[in-house]
């Protein structure tokens, strides 16, 4: 009798303890960690010097003096240096007539280099990969690029596969979000995320200024990373995902059309970057910050911002101090490092101004743009690599990633550094030279004479001799 009473007494308590343990255990296994990542660096013979860029521009017979002046201004103000990379077909002089194989070969080179290095360094076998997410926005093929990886590395038949196209520069965080959601329902898994862009079949050879601009900004690159939710590996991981927010303004016509692939008047396909792109990006950025700020910033900063905002509103209502500056939320109260998409110098400057960031905060993005250019969805990981190579990332630091993409989209997330990091990674051969004393582009020095040319007498020199 006493035993039954004791059992009746302890059974509800035991059931409650087991119930709590299941909740805690489930939450532990829902965590998303980056175990390691590998950025791609093409061979040196794919490097774009100022001289060679001039030759590529000269090969486009559809360009006139006004287009030359536009390109000169764009390149000089782009923030891009002389060590970025382009596809092989550009060096073979075939950018106006690329083949299907050019795009496939470009991706294969990236896959074989980055995935091989990543698997070797982590010691993970291809057969251990449970989830594969591949995002290459502007190259859709049959069989898919994800199937190509599965075939090359002989992944398991039950691997969960996601092949993303058309997602633009913000695609890598979309891939992370897919993995994050899968981890919520499956325990002890490995995910391989592969992100890049295929430039070979998408080089624009027309004279539409809104499309020529893409040639000036986009460069070859890519990144492969392995994520896991294995609790046993949490101390070996590099980063833990704390929060991820996606904002999509595709329902707005202006946002949808500002960044889109289309044909020009001569039916040549190119990537259009509209004049209203900054406005669309700003709106998406603001909406994204409104959602993610309460998730990542301390309560004291949110309260301070609300109080200051309310005070300013009251003053404006009473016509006092109507010209007071607009209150700004301080993201540095909850963020240690800012990993900004290298969409261009204007993008970096705009985000820096909006968040009141210092040159130290913006340095990783500026240097990545200078060294590697805009590598589309993979650019965030080159920026992260710069921070790591500079030994800025310490255990417990919080890294805020911000990316933009066609659609129009703004995606952001917050990572926590799990352990001190200091691998020089893809920056190993040049990190000691960064930041350089000057980011001045040599194009103005070599081709500045174009600004003084007369449209009536201008002709393109056959050998491009500079006076």
What is the tens place of the pLDDT at every residue in 379-396? 999 999 999 999 999 999
Over range 24-37, report the average pLDDT: 77
CA distance 111 to 117: 10
Q: Max Cα separation, the chain? A: 111
Q: Which residues contact 232 (CB under 8 A, 6 or more apart)?
A: none
Cis ω before 408 (30° cut-off from 0): yes
User: What mean pLDDT comes out for the span 361-369?
Assistant: 97
Chain centre distance of CA 317? 42
Residue where the block lists tokens 């030759």: 55
Is-contact 215 204, C-beta < 8 A?
Answer: yes
% of the chain residues with pLDDT over 70: 90
Nearest to 85 by CA among 9, 181, 196, 182: 196
Q: How far apart are CA 280 and CA 250, in angstroms?
A: 10
Query: In DSSP terms, which residues pair with 269 in a beta bridge?
Result: 263
> If DSSP codes are grouped into helix, strand and coil, which group holds residue 128?
helix
In the predicted structure, residue 187 carries a pLDDT above the cut 80: yes
Q: Is 24 exposed, middle or buried (0-12, 13-18, 19+ CB in 10 A)?
A: exposed
Which is more confident, 423 or 466?
A: 423
What does the alpha-carbon distance between residue 101 and residue 103 come to, in Å, rounded to a whole number? 5
Q: Which of 14-18, 88-92, 191-195 has the lowest mean pLDDT?
A: 14-18
What residues contact residue 366 under an 8 Å CB cut-off, 6+ apart? Answer: 79, 345, 348, 435, 439
SS3 at position 5: helix
Please answer whether residues 83 and 225 qualify as being in contact, where contact means their C-beta atoms are separated by less than 8 angstroms: no
Q: Which residues contact 314 (CB under 8 A, 6 or more apart)?
A: none
pLDDT at 88: 93
Q: How far is CA 151 from the centre of its chain?
A: 27
Mean pLDDT of 203-212: 88
Question: What is the chain's mean pLDDT, rounded?
Answer: 88
* Weakest mean pLDDT among 17-31, 107-121, 210-224: 17-31
For the record, the structure tokens of 115 come out as 């995935």
pLDDT of 131 over the 50 cut:
yes
Mean pLDDT of 383-411: 96
At residue 466, the pLDDT reads: 40
Q: Which of 19-33, 43-57, 117-131, 450-464 comes out lowest in average pLDDT? A: 19-33
pLDDT at 206: 87
- For 31-67, how does the pLDDT look when each residue is reduced to its tens digit (9 = 90+)? 999 999 999 999 999 999 888 888 888 888 888 888 8
Could you tell me the strand order of the sheet in which 33-39 lies?
160-164, 131-136, 190-196, 222-228, 33-39, 239-248, 409-417, 398-405, 337-340
Provide the 8-state DSSP code for 218: B
Distances from the Cα of 334 to the Cα of 242, 250, 341, 357, angstroms? 12, 30, 19, 13
- Identify any residues that bridge with 415 across adjacent strands, giving them in sequence order: 241, 399
How confident is the model over 453-463, as pLDDT tens digits?
Answer: 877 777 766 65
What region does 18 belong to: left with phi over 0, alpha with psi -120 to 50, or beta? alpha
> Which of 18 and 414 is assigned the larger pLDDT?
414
Measured N-to-C along each axis, helices 345-355 and 359-372 cross at an angle, to the nearest 10 degrees, of: 170
Give tens-digit pLDDT for 294-329. Answer: 999 999 999 888 888 777 777 766 655 555 567 788
The pLDDT score that the predictor gives to residue 451 is 81
> Three-state DSSP class for 186?
coil
Quote the CA–CA distance of 178 and 70 in Å, as a whole number. Answer: 40
* Local confidence band at 465 (pLDDT 50, 70, 90 cut-offs): very low
The predicted structure's pLDDT at residue 10: 61
Residues designated catalytic:
169, 248, 337, 341, 370, 374
3-state secondary structure of 319: coil
Angle, nearest 10°, between helix axes 100-110 and 145-153?
A: 50
Does the model's pTM come out above 0.85? Answer: yes
Q: What are phi and psi of 405, to 5 degrees?
A: -160, 165
User: pLDDT tens digits for 65-83?
Assistant: 888 888 888 888 888 988 9
Burial classification of residue 70, based on how many CB atoms lie within 10 Å of its CB (0-12 exposed, 13-18 middle, 19 or more buried): middle
């Amino acid at each position: 009798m006493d035993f039954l009473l004791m059992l009746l007494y302890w059974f509800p308590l035991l059931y409650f303890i087991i119930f709590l343990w299941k909740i805690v255990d489930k939450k532990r296994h829902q965590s998303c960690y980056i175990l390691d990542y590998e950025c791609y660096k093409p061979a040196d013979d794919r490097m774009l010097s100022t001289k060679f860029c001039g030759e590529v521009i000269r090969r486009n017979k559809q360009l006139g003096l006004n287009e030359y002046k536009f390109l000169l201004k764009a390149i000089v103000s782009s923030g891009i240096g002389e060590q970025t990379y382009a596809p092989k077909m550009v060096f073979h002089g075939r950018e106006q007539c690329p083949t299907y194989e050019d795009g496939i070969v470009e991706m294969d080179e990236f896959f074989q280099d980055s995935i091989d290095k990543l698997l070797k360094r982590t010691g993970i076998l291809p057969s251990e990969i449970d989830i594969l997410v591949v995002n290459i926005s502007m190259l859709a093929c049959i069989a898919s690029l994800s199937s190509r990886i599965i075939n090359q590395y002989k992944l398991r038949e039950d691997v969960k596969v996601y092949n993303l196209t058309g997602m633009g520069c913000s695609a890598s965080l979309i891939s992370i979000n897919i993995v994050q959601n899968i981890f919520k329902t499956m325990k002890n898994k490995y995910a391989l995320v592969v992100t890049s862009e295929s430039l070979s079949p998408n080089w624009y050879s027309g004279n539409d200024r809104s499309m020529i601009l893409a040639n000036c900004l986009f460069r070859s690159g890519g990144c492969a990373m392995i994520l896991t939710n294995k609790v046993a590996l949490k101390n070996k991981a590099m980063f833990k995902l704390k929060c991820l927010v996606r904002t999509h303004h595709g329902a707005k016509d202006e946002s949808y059309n500002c960044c889109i692939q289309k044909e020009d008047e001569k039916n040549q396909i190119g990537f259009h970057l509209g004049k209203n792109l900054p406005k669309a990006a700003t709106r998406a950025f603001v909406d994204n910050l409104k959602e993610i700020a309460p998730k990542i910033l301390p309560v004291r900063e949110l309260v301070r911002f609300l109080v200051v905002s309310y005070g300013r509103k009251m003053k404006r209502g009473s016509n006092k101090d109507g010209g007071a500056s607009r209150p700004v939320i301080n993201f540095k109260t909850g963020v240690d490092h800012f990993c900004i998409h290298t969409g261009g110098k204007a993008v970096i400057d705009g985000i820096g101004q909006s968040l009141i960031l210092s040159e130290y905060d913006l340095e990783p993005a500026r240097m990545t743009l200078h060294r590697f250019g805009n590598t589309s969805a993979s650019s965030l990981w080159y920026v992260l690599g710069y921070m790591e190579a500079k030994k800025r990332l310490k255990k417990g630091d919080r890294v805020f990633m911000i990316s933009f993409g066609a659609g129009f989209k703004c995606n952001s997330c917050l990572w926590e550094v799990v352990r001190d990091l200091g691998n020089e990674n893809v920056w190993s051969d040049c990190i000691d030279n960064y930041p350089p004393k000057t980011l001045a582009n040599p194009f103005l020095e070599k081709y500045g004479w174009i600004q003084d040319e007369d449209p009536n007498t201008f002709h393109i020199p056959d050998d491009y001799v500079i006076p």
